[in-house]
């Protein structure tokens, strides 16, 4: 049986869609807002839609900010989705500026006004990869994924950008640093390629769980 994957419920995410996507690829998701479950988790998914400011306020109200930071530092598998990627950074320009989790260095910026492009970006976009990673197993570079966002992450460490897309500018679409992974797009809305993201995350979780178990 695969290890349980905690999906963080803070009233700001595509929770049921993420849950169903994980179940579709044979994973065992637990949707919960309990900080103790986050602390004990073997693997974790942080979804999110809406504004970074609202999401941070909801995380704080549920006592989840410090458990999420501690979890990310523990080197257990972590996957952020959409705003769940943006919250990982130091802060966002949204709403005049908001402090985020500070797990990854960098700032979340708004797409510049451009009459040729609609903001937010809503729809399918090609994602290209900068290096190989287990999260990308069996996914060709240039595959299309579904985005809904007005802001994008601008990492202070460019090497954590695993995948990028173009919307007026090249922007970070996937980040990877050690155990912390995140996608700006919604894998659960991205058909077969999106399900492969969740399946590959499940493989990473199972591999790390087995390694931890073998160490006793």
* Residues annotated as catalytic (active site), given as ranges: 82, 186, 188
Sign of the Cα pseudo-torsion (88, 203, 24, 161, in order): positive
Could you give the dihedral angle defined by the CA atoms of residues 73, 215, 196 and 4, in that order, rounded to the nearest 10 degrees? -80
Do 117 and 168 meet the contact criterion of CB atoms below 8 Å apart? Answer: yes
**Within 10 Å of residue 161's Cβ, how many Cβ atoms?**
22
């Amino acid at each position: 049986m695969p290890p349980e994957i905690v999906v963080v419920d803070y009233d700001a995410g595509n929770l049921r869609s993420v849950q169903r996507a994980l179940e579709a690829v044979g994973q065992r998701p637990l949707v919960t807002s309990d900080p103790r479950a986050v602390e004990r988790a073997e693997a974790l998914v942080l979804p999110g839609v809406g504004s970074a400011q609202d999401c941070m306020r909801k995380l704080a109200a549920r006592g989840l900010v410090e458990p999420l930071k501690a979890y990310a530092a523990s080197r257990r598998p972590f996957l952020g989705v959409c705003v769940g990627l943006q919250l990982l950074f130091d802060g966002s320009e949204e709403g005049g500026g908001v402090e985020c989790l500070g797990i990854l260095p960098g700032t979340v910026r708004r797409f510049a006004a451009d009459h040729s492009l609609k903001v937010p970006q809503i729809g399918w976009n090609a994602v290209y990869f900068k290096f190989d990673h287990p999260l990308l197993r069996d996914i060709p570079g240039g595959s299309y994924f579904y985005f809904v966002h007005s802001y994008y992450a601008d990492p202070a460490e460019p090497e954590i950008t695993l995948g990028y897309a173009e919307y007026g500018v090249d922007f970070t679409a996937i980040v990877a640093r050690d155990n912390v992974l995140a996608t700006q797009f919604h894998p659960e809305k991205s058909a077969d390629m999106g399900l492969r993201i969740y399946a590959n995350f499940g493989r990473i979780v199972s591999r790390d769980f087995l390694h931890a178990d073998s160490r006793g």
